[in-house]
Structure 1
Amino acid sequence: MRMAHIDYYFATVSPFTYLAGLRMEEIAQRHGATVTYKPLDILALFARTGGTPPKERHPSRQEYRLQELQRLSVLNDMPINLKPAHWPTNPAPSSYAIIAAQQAGGGDLGRLAHGICRACWAEERDIAQDEVVRDCLSDAGFDPALADKGLLAGAETYERNLEDAVAAGAFGAPFYITDSGGRFWGQDRLHHLDRHLAGEL
């Protein structure tokens, strides 16, 4: 039986990526699916696919977004700072580290990606800072020196992830695309992904 595959498009500065927790990883494991982690520049994705950055949205949309994040925080039992001290910040260094870790192997990639998001949205840490990225790498079982390795390759892959996302039909984060063509936008659609992999949707 062929194993399913998920291309996981996400942004390390996205609160909705943070609130997904490790549920996608649990779903993938349950169905024997493999995952490719594809961190990207969410603002560039918005610009390419008709989205509007949060700070440029109408006040009603901004206020609703904060209410939604607060509710999701409670529902998912995950702490969140609605206005973190270090947001927005440069997502590239943390994204490059995830790309390098995926290439190197040896650790828990889901834990790394989630740890970086948690650092931003629950721990008031600046994920653009080298020491924060190193801590997250180490905590997930990776060599912290990966923060300094493969930067050129990381930059190239980061840009390619954006192009891949646009070509595949992704327009937000988190976004899950299966090899069968199923597209699922948002942490609140993970149960749909689960049912899809089970052959029910």
Structure 2
Amino acid sequence: MTSRASIVVYYDVVSPYSYFGVSLLNRYKAQWKDVDVVFRPTLLVGIHNESKNQPPASVAAKGAYMIADVHQMSALSGVPFSFPSKFPLATIHAMRLLVVVQEQAADKYEQCMNTDAYWCKDEDVSKSEVLVKVLAPVLGSEAKVQELLAMSVQKENKQKLIDNTNEAVAAGAFGAPSFVVRKAGADQDDFALFFGGDRLELLAAYLGVPYPGFAAKL
């Protein structure tokens, strides 16, 4: 049984909806003092494979809808956004690195999750050299990023990303972001699953916490 309400966010930086979901949750979570929030790196392609889902880019109508949708989300919410020239990317190196950052540099983790390098500046975050350039100012040096990248290919850290992905699928996830939400006092198996970067209103209603609206700039 959990003593506090909690939100576990399964995300992948390749997902534009993850970008919006994480950005907006970070905007509003400071108001939710009694809710614990954990951002858990996953591999979206693994979630799609295990759930037998098809990514939007593989279905013409879904892909066209997604592009229009995320631009509308940006305009309404004020979250900056520019569709990158390369999409989708293989983000396995980035997500493995974030697994390691979460454990080894926890105080910098949420800054490292900031994916405006990809979703605003068109940086190819599938490349290790780009990850080094983007994260060195956050982690303190290029050498530190290189150190964590080396750790990210260790067997146990590769497995942690697999475990996170399988955990999301076991909870019912079929895409990213997926939010596993538990009320205070709930049993481990008593939770609600929300999918998508625009589901924070429903999530807040489920927990009974304030939600100022999608367009509110706090």
TM-score range (shorter-chain normalised) is 0.7 to 0.9
2:5 match: 4
The equivalent residue for 2:180 is: 177
Matches within 5 A, 1:1-201: 2-32=3-33, 33-57=35-59, 59-82=60-83, 84-114=84-114, 117-141=115-139, 143-144=144-145, 145-152=147-154, 153-180=156-183, 181-198=191-208
Give RMSD over aligned pairs. Answer: 2.5
Structure 1 residue runs without a partner (length 5+): none
Distance 1:107 1:139 in 2: 14
| Offset of residue 185 of structure 1 | 1.0
TM-score of the superposed pair, with normalisation by structure 1: 0.84
Number of residue pairs matched by the alignment: 197
* Conserved? CA contact 1:133–1:147, under 8 Å: no
> What is the TM-score when the length of structure 2 is the normalising length?
0.78
Query: Contact between 2:16 and 2:70, CA under 8 Å: does it hold in 1?
Result: yes
Rounded Cα–Cα distance in structure 2 between residues aligned with 1:27 and 1:95: 24
In the aligned structure 2, how far is the partner of 1:150 from the partner of 1:159?
12
**How big is the shift at 1:99?**
0.7
| CA separation of 1:72 and 1:199: change in aligned 2, threshold 3 A | closer
Aligned pair in 2 of structure 1 residues 37, 106: CA closer, same or farther (>3 Å)?
Answer: closer
Partners of 2:152 and 2:46 lie apart in 1 by 22
Q: Which amino acid aligns with 2:160?
A: T
Percent identity over paired residues? 22
* Consecutive unaligned residues in structure 2, runs of 5 or more: 184-190, 211-218
